[in-house]
Structure 1
Amino acid sequence: MHRAPKACDFAMNDQVSHEYALTCDQIQVMLHQEETLYACFSNYTRRNENIPENAPVISEAWRQKICEWAFEVVDHFDYDRDIVSQTMNYLDRYVSYSADKGVYISRKEFQLAAVACLYIATKMEGSHRSFQRQTPPLTISTLVELGRGIFSHKAIELMERRVLAVLGWRMHPPTSFRFILHFMKLLNNSERRKLLPKAITDSMHDASRYLSELAVCVSSLSIECKPSTIAIASLLNAMECANPDYLNWEVRDSFLQEVSKVTNICTESDELLSARAALKSMCPAMPTAEHNDVRECMESGSSSPVCVSGSTSTHTNRKRNFAST
């Protein structure tokens, strides 16, 4: 027997429509930001003919070490792991902008800049926390202690001001994980929400976040690719892990069409396929439809440059000083 719609049904549909429109607007704003204020810049880890032979070049390995250190510090001090994405965005832009002006920084100055960028990123988190802090916040004095006195309080403060000036105080980059959060809202719209168990969407969230964090450590992905590209690539790879009984091709195609419509990004573009291949090569143990325990895969180690799964139980109690990096 057909049930007549109730007033609450219309109210719920209105609410869903409003949330969907808001999500689309937020994605559009972030896409505009990554194309303009936070556009891709030159990869300073690659030496080219424009760089003088005697100029120092920050290597890929050195950048990765700094990124790993940032993840460990963020975990220890109980910050959101997306802060590392912000930190590396600040750092990459600072070094790249400096190089474009003919200023090439040394490894030690790179370390100092990384410390300042991490400090700025933790301050930017501010009061936007959804949970109670378990440890004291990170301070300059703590950073001086972590560095065993390599950098003074004054040196970190001066570098902080220099980074802010070089970046023109543009400190809210759209990160790949923020894109993932918004794309997941599209997946969870009213129609698909009925079809997808929470366990499936949670696994997709964990797997895509895991992959996006891997990308932060690699300059060719973090610097040369747009955050939206990394986000979509991470989600597509994560979708391959989901149980096909729930996330079937119809649901996947509907979601991909939705993402393409909102972002105007072709999910079969060369850039996106290249990013997906790079992420797969970094995480060959990513589960398939036959083996879909995402957390087991993430905790198995795979080929990750640092443990970046959603679970921090294996490394939250470590505090690594950067004097040893």
Structure 2
Amino acid sequence: MATKNQVTVPHHQQKTEGGAVVPKGKQKNAADGKHRRALGDIGNLVPAGAPPAAEAKPQHQISRPITGNFGAQLLANAQKKAQIRETKPKVSVKPKPAEVIIEISPDSDEVTKKRSSRKKVHTMTSVLTARSKAASGINHKLIEPIPDIDASDAGDQLAVVDYIEEIYKFYKISENLSRPGDYMESQMEINAKMRAILADWLIEVHHKFELMPESLYLTFYIIDRYLSMKKVLRRELQLVGVSSMLIACKYEEIWAPEVNDFICISDRAYSREQVLTMEKEILNVLEWSLTVPTPYMFLVRFLKAAMADKEMEHMVFFLAELGLMQYSMIKYRPSMVAASAVYAARCVLKKSPLWTETLKRHTGFSDAQLFDCVQILVRCHAEAPQDKLKFVYKKYSSVELGAVALNPPAMQLIEQLKALDLN
């Protein structure tokens, strides 16, 4: 039998169904395409003979034949969708409104709800307030701080820092309850000049005995208080002065001078019995009330408020002792006399400012309230070198007390202040 010629195909080549020789590397791709066509036939998505899925274009497949009724139904559905699409309102996107700040006054309990990073809204009230402050210069005005003058004495129990404010409030109230009245018109044999002579002599006695300053000011309170309640003969005026100083020393001094010391200093013008009898008389008339605020109590406080140095301190006491000799000063309260002495001393020493907020707070007086009393003290300073009663001037002309009496009086400055006040 004749045999058919068999063609041997190399192992790296295989035939396809159509007889074509396919290289071995492409054999797998051909099988994949075959499987894809089969899956396409099953899903009725890819017609027979179509190219592979990766290369074919998508086509709209219809799973049923389009009849007349079905076509009319499709057309009606399309028209209905188009009509609904036209009648449906368009939704417009509105821009987000800007946030608004609502400013609330400081005394309100509400809290600001929103804060905006954009422009800040100012209320009319805040604008008007800012304009008023700017017009009056409040924004640029520096308020002088009031220092605590008792801070340095916080650890000193004798300074009684915890009670010092209340103590001086009490002094302010009680100084009006026991003030001596105007008595010179009711006195028949004594006058203001005699009182000045007695005052100059008592200040000298006080200095020779080296007594406390509290004793000097209490002595003059006792004298004026007694003379405002009793009529005194001329020959007894010095006796009243000696007995008053004896009482004051017993009240203030640790080692008070004896009665014989006062008898000797008065050139034995009075006996021991006379001094002791007058002492009892004065105490009975004053009803043994000696705890009173004198100018000295206010002087030490106001000097502390003025932050005074030694020169300032000597000048203040010089003017205050000049005031003790003037009967016209009796109409002023002790606190006003003390404050006026501080103000006058600042004028003499040309301190600036003449009156500070600290002094105003602790004295309770403005410079305008003190001006009349200050004029008297400055005039006394100007007349002291020519006055016949000049022990106070000599005392404060010494080097030990800073020779403050030799400073020129502040008459010119007082006149300028007076002219400004009148204008």
For the aligned pair, the TM-score class normalised by the smaller chain equals 0.5 to 0.7
Mapped contact 1:94–1:163 kept (Cα < 8 A): yes
Aligned partner of 2:173: which letter?
A: H
2-structure distance, mates of 1:219, 1:80: 23
Q: Distance in 1 between matches of 2:388 and 2:215?
A: 19
Residue 288 of structure 1 is matched in structure 2 by: none
Counterparts of 1:108-257 in structure 2 under 5 Å?
A: 108-127=235-254, 137-188=256-307, 201-221=309-329, 223-242=330-349, 244=351, 248-249=352-353, 252-257=355-360
Mapped contact 2:212–2:253 kept (Cα < 8 A): no
**Where does residue 78 of structure 1 map in the other structure?**
210
In the alignment, the residues of structure 2 paired with residue 233 and residue 302 of structure 1 have an alpha-carbon distance, to the nearest angstrom, of: 23
Q: Which runs of 4+ in 1 moved over 6 A?
A: none
Instruction: State whether residues 302 and 359 of structure 2, in contact with CA within 8 Å, keep that contact through their aligned partners in structure 1.
Output: no
Aligned length: 247
The residue aligned with 2:224 is: 92
CA contact (8 A) 1:87 1:118 kept: yes
Confirm or deny: 8 A CA contact 1:208 1:234 kept in the other structure. Answer: yes
Letter of the structure 1 residue corresponding to residue 375 of structure 2: A
Q: Distance in 2 between matches of 1:124 and 1:138?
A: 12
1:14, distance to aligned residue in structure 2 (A) = 9.6
Amino acid at match of 2:335: S
Deviations 1:99-152 (A, max 9, x none): xxxxx221112221111101111111232xxxxx8xxx5211122233343311
Aligned: 1:268 with 2:268: no
5+ long unaligned stretches in structure 1: 1-11, 99-103, 128-132, 189-199, 286-299, 316-325
Instruction: Pick 1 or 2: higher relative contact order, CA cutoff 8 A, min separation 6.
Output: 1
The verdict on how the C-alpha distance between 1:21 and 1:301 changes in structure 2, with shifts beyond 3 A counting, is farther
d(CA) in 1 for partners of 2:253, 2:214:
14
SS of equivalent to 2:392 = coil
Corresponding position: 1:44 with 2:44: no
Q: 1:238 to 1:165 in 2, by over 3 A?
A: same
CA gap of 1:27–1:305, structure 2 versus 1, over 3 A, is farther
Contact between 1:44 and 1:57, CA under 8 Å: does it hold in 2? no
Give the AA of the match of 2:248: A
Preserved CA contact (<8 Å) 1:43 1:219:
no
- List gaps (5 residues or longer) in structure 2: 1-150, 401-423
Find the counterpart in structure 2 of residue 194 from structure 1. Answer: none
Residues 140-186 of structure 1: CA deviation (Å, up to 9, x unaligned): 11222333433111111111011011011111332222211011223
From the CA coordinates, give the structure whose radius of gyration is larger. 2
Alignment-mate amino acid for residue 321 of structure 2: E
Please give the per-residue CA displacement for 1:175-201, whole angstroms capped at 9, x wherever unaligned. Answer: 22221101122334xxxxxxxxxxx52
Distance 1:174 1:71, change over 3 A: same
Shift of 1:307: 3.1
In 2, Cα distance between equivalents of 1:95 and 1:308:
23
Q: Which amino acid aligns with 1:56?
A: M
State TM-score, norm by structure 1. Answer: 0.67
Distance 1:231 1:259 in 2: 12
1:10-68 deviations in Å (ceiling 9; x for gaps)? xx68938x9665432232122122111x22x32222x2xxx4xxx72311111111111
Residues 308 and 106 of structure 1: CA distance in aligned 2, closer, same or farther (over 3 Å): same
TM-score normalised by length of structure 2: 0.52
1:258 aligns to what? 361
1:31 and 2:172 equivalent? yes
CA RMSD, Structure 1 to Structure 2 (Å): 3.1
